[in-house]
A and B are shown apart, each in its own frame.
Chain A
Amino acid sequence: MYRYDEFDEAFVRERVAQFSDQVARRLAGDLDEEQFKPLRLQNGVYLQLHAYMLRIAVPYGTLSSRQMRKLAFIARNYDKGYGHFTTRQNLQFNWPALKDVPEILGHLADVEMHAIQTSGNCIRNVTADHFAGVAADEVADPRPYAEILRQWSTIHPEFLFLPRKFKIAVTGADADRAAVRFHDIGLQVKRNEAGELGFAVWIGGGMGRTPMVGYQIRDFLPEADLLAYSEAIVRIYNLYGRRDNKYKARLKILIHEGGAETIAAEIEQEFNEIRYGVLRLPDDEIRRIETYFAAPDYPTRASESVPFKRARLADPAFDRWVGNNVSPHRAPGHAIVTVSLKPIGGVPGNATADQMDAVADIAERFSADEIRVSHEQNLVLPHVALEDVKAVYDALAAAGLATGNAGLVTDIIACPGLDYCALATARSIPVAERISERFGNPERQQEIGPLKIKISGCINACGHHHAGHIGILGLDRKGEEFYQITLGGSGDETASIGEIVGRGFSTDEVVDAVQQIVDTYIVHRESSEESFLAAYRRLGPAPFKEALYGTA
């Protein structure tokens, strides 16, 4: 894992001291709210519906056991005993007192964590494939590049007051688990024909009220040009992005209004001017950063494990959990374990302090001390020996974390919605809970197969509904919550934006509507091998409209 150097350590400590002083001045009345608000936002502190909210960065979703234990400690001592993992691989606490935030940030700094640039119109926490470094299908670990981008973008003096927020994601495999095509900059590490490392680059993707799939600006950008090219993109955005209307201020709108080829030409011109300047990445520096992310020394193991196979045969629930929550690892005899934070009928993405401690203990014992946060609001244990998978399962089960539903209909993404968020127009979590209960039967979920339901409680789309196979958007209609359903969205390498299926549904109707959609898919699919998304792409919306509204 990346370890802070002296500069990182000093910088984070200075920032804690600076913000502590700002909080003290605010509480004493020396700063008013107008002066203080941009300062608190730059340090991850929002004022939400009920209370302050602190958003803590988990760079590229990687945590150590020590860091996870510290999050549990904060949950227990400064919040209400739980935290909420988000679609940006971050952690949010919903109830911290402002007067305690400096102390909390001090605790975070003790374990090399912070809340810097988790809000505001700046380059946000860089996200990455949650299977980075261990996925069997990976070209190279994307996290060293994410770390290089983090160092470049942290208090970058030119980019702290952008027209709007700016999000970057990096993946290292063809199978896109990081939704790179829905980011301002999306990067996929790849090799060219000469075997050299570089990136496919997408720009101007995003969700929100104007969803757009990114425009592919480069098929192959050489590794050494990563920062110069990123700087060129953000510089052109900073120069031309609209500041008159916050809803039209993202890069996607600039590209839409200015024309992708015109903007691309501007970026290329800027890049050519700075390409061989200070931002050119020295090879030895990239290789040095890579060493931080080197995999643990896996003991040589057989690719199959007899105890593991026996355990699967002996325990159907374990077998089902393995089928859904265990993914292929690049090292023989090892596995990647997804820890579902989607208990049936529970809040997506929440973990109690005790659960955080349990995951930290399990990771320390069985996963080389490492944990990942996925943008799908689950946790991942990246380095588990096949022989240990059953012990990991048993330990997770004891902590209430062995739900075997990764990638299935109850593995729902949901934003906090109107239960917590000051911007929301409807509740998301209760809808997620009711859908989860409706489809909670394990055999039924298995029969339905891979299906991503994503729920947002307002048009800002934090719940990624545009990229849901079934997307649900909660709105307010004359004081009543109602829910608009979109179908056919996807955040993977076949990225697409869901299409509105028809008129919205009331709170009472929406779960039945989802069931009708699922039932229609089951009736129309060619076989159980044809996923919901594949079937929808083949069939189009007609049979679903027919089922929901009685009209083709």
Chain B
Amino acid sequence: MDIITANRLSDGAVVFLTASGWSTRIAEAQALEGKESVAAALARAAADAEASIIVEPYPVDVERRAQGLTPTKLRERIRAQGPTVGHSKDLHLQVQAA
């Protein structure tokens, strides 16, 4: 299962493709099954990159776990959830919860 991620052009925030646009919450990401739906979603993302809404879209392999959609790779989990340490960690969690 895949989702599409990118960074928002104006502020760089990590965003996920939803049924209607982009969200900073992975929980709202549109889960994609099969090559065709991934390709179609990437085409939507490419149009938004072209329209200078987001940059560098790419698909991320995810699983449905108890806590919701979760990337299988550590890099993508950190990207979705924020740094695991340091000054940003708590702030990031606050923003996610807001």
Q: Which residues of A are in contact with B by a Cβ distance under 8 Å?
A: 26-29, 32-33, 47, 49-52, 80-82, 94-100, 347, 350, 352, 418-420, 424, 427, 429-430, 433, 479-481
Nearest-neighbor residue (CB-CB) of B72 within chain A: A479
In the complex, chain B residues 54-91 whose Cβ is within 8 Å of any chain A Cβ:
55-56, 72-75, 78-79, 82-88, 91
Residues of A within 8 A of B88 (CB): 80, 82, 94-95
In the complex, chain B residues 28-57 whose Cβ is within 8 Å of any chain A Cβ:
49-52, 55-56
Contact of A47 among B52, B55, B87 (CB under 8 A): B55
Residues of A within 8 A of B74 (CB): 418, 479-481
- Verify A27–B10 contact, CB threshold 8 A: yes
Residues of B within 8 A of A352 (CB): 87
Contact of B9 among A26, A82, A100 (CB under 8 A): A26
Nearest-neighbor residue (CB-CB) of A97 within chain B: B11
What's the least CB distance linking A286 to chain B, in Å?
42
Nearest-neighbor residue (CB-CB) of A345 within chain B: B85
Quick one: given A33-B56, A52-B12, are A347 and B79 in contact (CB under 8 Å)? no
- Verify A80–B83 contact, CB threshold 8 A: no
Contact of A50 among B9, B52, B82 (CB under 8 A): B82
Is B19 among interface residues, defined by CB-CB distance under 8 A?
no
Of residues B9, B56, B79, which shows the largest number of chain A Cβ atoms within 10 Å of its Cβ? Answer: B9
Interface residues on B, range: 20 to 34
Residues of A within 8 A of B82 (CB): 50
Is B14 among interface residues, defined by CB-CB distance under 8 A?
yes
Residues of A within 8 A of B79 (CB): 49-50
- Verify B78–A418 contact, CB threshold 8 A: yes
- Verify A98–B10 contact, CB threshold 8 A: yes
- Verify B12–A429 contact, CB threshold 8 A: no
What's the least CB distance linking B93 to chain A, in Å?
12
Residues of B within 8 A of A26 (CB): 9, 52
- Verify A47–B85 contact, CB threshold 8 A: no
Quick one: given A81-B87, A350-B87, are A47 and B12 in contact (CB under 8 Å)? yes
Residues of B within 8 A of A50 (CB): 12-14, 79, 82-83
A419 to B88, CA, bound (A): 10
- Verify B56–A347 contact, CB threshold 8 A: no
Residues of B within 8 A of A97 (CB): 10-12
Is B7 among interface residues, defined by CB-CB distance under 8 A?
yes
Nearest 8 A/B pairs, CB to CB: A97-B11, A29-B52, A51-B12, A52-B12, A419-B83, A82-B87, A347-B86, A429-B85
